[in-house]
């Protein structure tokens, strides 16, 4: 009998997450006002109410499209599970690198003077301008100047100045490689016994960040300029809600924060009892996630307001998307505080626990999905877990080279964007339209004792599929090639990125075509076999298909 575990809350916060960050609208958002960014967050929270909660309930019910339930739930569900597993595996290739960066910063914080506070290091360039000198880093005529924090990240940690582009990666940096090894070791010993170990580790990784966020909030609101930052955070530009990019980025963020489309909720829910209250789990998960996201915005923008006042620039000029917020802006802000090393250690310990928590969820979905499908892997779970984490380590080495940030950006843009939305869309369609909302509702009634209300059924049948279809189509139609700063990726890199995205999304149509061609009978019978559970195949043989009635 499987052990029960509870996994609550998202791993990344909306405003200050360090996980994969959608870069599709990064070039426009970088110039957006703080109220515009708040408009995006408003879209994010609304999206959690629209497709977020219903899809979350679908996953936590245990009847969602998980790999071990594909054949029994939906004939074509098998391929959707492999799509989800591939996406989670791709994300693991660069997700662990973020944790390695945080670990590198953590080690560097155990000094009396933080290494990103001045410009007298060997990695600094002549353009470096001391962040402690006011009005020298962000003025309108100083666009070529860089801060010590920015140079520490890009030159001291990444060694980006030693690479000409993605076609000039160079060797892996031994410092980051060592940190990556430690991350892999932590992940393995957190996962090797399944929920027996991860269920214990999660008590630390899921709760400690809240303590640190509360401490940072108390410190942030006392800083000069914090009120301006919070005012900018709460100021909403409703016109931005009319922009498709806002909803696309919000939908992708929800997939990460709730774990839908990544198999995380399904993997952990598979350890619950059959009679587990999935309603409670879905409501608690989405509510805590939204509250955490909203609260963390105060932490982020209080420090952004402080930095804006310190350098006498608008808040919009301080805010950064992507890793820059976590590894440039925040370290620079912490370096100006009393006991800066202590605050830096606390902050990066929080990032480390958040990263391990998220990586555990992603890897667990891969390991549990494949182990439940193949009994050989299930019997040798410890060895299989070792092989999975070693595979992610070897491919993550590309991201810790001199030009590793380019590989990171490419994977972030293609492996963690439209493909996730596509996977969630296929899950929702499979359950609501192929398996059937009424059948799914009967299953939940059998589990919880009550049938889902009309709200949930309408969301599963119409709202969630339509919203997800919209964002998938628009994200493809409005696609913009990735870039990192002024660097534009070559055509072959974009082609490689599309190949990565297509490799996960193409599993569904390829397997559907194979299944349709290999099944016996007429076209109608083949379609019936493909969209019905195995338990109903006898009814198909007799010509009775409930989906056609």
Q: Do 155 and 124 form a contact (C-beta atoms < 8 A)?
A: yes
257 annotated binding-site participant: yes
Q: Do 384 and 375 form a contact (C-beta atoms < 8 A)?
A: no
73 annotated binding-site participant: no
Hey, what are 135's tokens? 């009005």
190 annotated binding-site participant: no
Nearest to 325 by CA among 11, 9, 30, 93: 30
Nearest to 320 by CA among 312, 329, 333, 308: 329
Hey, what are 317's tokens? 């000029």
Rounded distance, CA 451 to CA 439, Å?
A: 11
DSSP assignments along 280-322, one per residue: HHHHHHHHHHHHHHHHHHHHHHHHHHHHHHHHT--HHHH---T
- 483 strand-pairing partners: 488
494 annotated binding-site participant: no
Sequence-separated (6 or more) residues with CB below 8 Å from residue 298:
217, 220, 221, 230, 233
Nearest to 487 by CA among 213, 167, 269, 94: 167
Q: Do 225 and 134 form a contact (C-beta atoms < 8 A)?
A: no
Q: Do 522 and 424 form a contact (C-beta atoms < 8 A)?
A: no
Q: Cα dihedral angle (351, 356, 360, 366), rounded to 10 degrees?
A: 80
Rounded distance, CA 246 to CA 240, Å?
A: 7
- 128 strand-pairing partners: 146
289 annotated binding-site participant: yes
Rounded distance, CA 194 to CA 304, Å?
A: 40
Rounded distance, CA 62 to CA 271, Å?
A: 9
Sequence-separated (6 or more) residues with CB below 8 Å from residue 402:
158, 159, 160, 162, 163, 168, 169, 170, 171, 173
Binding residues: 257, 289, 354, 357-358
Binding residues for Na(+): 257, 289, 354, 357-358
């Amino acid at each position: 009998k499987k052990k029960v575990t509870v996994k609550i809350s998202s791993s990344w916060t909306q405003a200050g997450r360090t996980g994969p960050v959608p870069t599709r609208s990064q070039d426009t958002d970088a110039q957006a006002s703080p109220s515009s960014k708040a408009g995006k967050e408003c879209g994010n929270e609304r999206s959690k109410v629209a497709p977020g909660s219903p899809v979350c309930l679908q996953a936590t019910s245990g009847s969602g499209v998980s790999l071990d339930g594909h054949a029994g739930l939906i004939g074509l569900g098998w391929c959707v599970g492999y799509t989800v597993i591939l996406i989670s595996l791709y994300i693991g290739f660069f997700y662990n690198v973020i944790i390695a960066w945080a670990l590198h910063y953590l080690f560097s914080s155990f000094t009396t003077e933080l290494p990103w506070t001045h410009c007298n290091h060997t990695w600094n360039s002549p353009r470096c301008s001391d962040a402690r000198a006011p009005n020298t880093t962000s003025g309108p005529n100083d666009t070529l100047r860089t801060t010590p924090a920015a140079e520490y990240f890009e030159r001291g940690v990444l060694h980006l100045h030693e690479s000409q582009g993605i076609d000039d990666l160079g060797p892996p940096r031994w410092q980051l490689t060592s940190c990556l090894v430690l991350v892999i070791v932590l992940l393995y010993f957190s996962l090797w016994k399944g929920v027996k170990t991860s269920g214990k580790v999660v008590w630390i990784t899921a709760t400690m960040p809240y303590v640190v966020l509360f401490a940072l909030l108390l410190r942030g609101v006392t800083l000069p300029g914090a009120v301006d930052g919070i005012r900018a955070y709460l100021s909403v530009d409703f016109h931005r809600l009319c922009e498709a990019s806002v909803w696309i980025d919000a939908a992708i963020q929800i997939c990460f924060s709730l774990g839908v489309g990544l198999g995380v909720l399904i993997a952990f829910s598979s350890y619950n009892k059959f009679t587990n209250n999935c309603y409670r789990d879905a409501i608690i998960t989405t509510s805590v996630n939204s509250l955490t996201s909203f609260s963390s915005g105060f932490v982020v923008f209080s420090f952004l307001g402080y930095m804006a006042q310190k350098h006498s620039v608008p808040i919009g000029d301080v805010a950064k998307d992507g890793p820059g917020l976590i590894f440039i802006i925040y370290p620079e802000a912490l370096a100006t505080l009393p006991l800066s090393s202590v605050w830096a250690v606390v902050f990066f310990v929080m990032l480390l626990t958040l990263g391990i928590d998220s990586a555990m969820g992603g890897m667990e979905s891969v390991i549990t999905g494949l182990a439940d499908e193949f009994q050989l892997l299930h019997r040798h779970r410890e060895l299989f877990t070792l092989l999975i984490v070693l595979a992610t380590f070897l491919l993550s080495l590309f991201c810790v080279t001199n030009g590793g940030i380019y590989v990171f950006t490419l994977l972030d843009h293609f492996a963690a964007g439209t493909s996730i939305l596509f996977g969630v869309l296929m899950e929702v369609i499979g359950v609501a339209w192929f398996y059937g909302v009424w059948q799914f509702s009967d299953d939940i009634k059998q589990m919880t004792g009550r049938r889902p209300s009309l709200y949930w059924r309408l969301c599963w049948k119409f709202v969630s599929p339509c919203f997800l279809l919209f964002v998938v189509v628009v994200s493809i139609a409005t696609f913009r090639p990735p870039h990192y700063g002024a660097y534009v990726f070559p055509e072959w890199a974009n082609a490689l990125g599309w190949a990565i995205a297509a490799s996960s999304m193409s599993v569904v149509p390829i397997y559907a075509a194979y299944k349709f061609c290999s099944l016996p009978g007429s076209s109608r019978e083949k379609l019936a076999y493909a969209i019905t559970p195995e338990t109903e195949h006898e009814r198909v043989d007799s010509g009775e298909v409930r989906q056609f009635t």
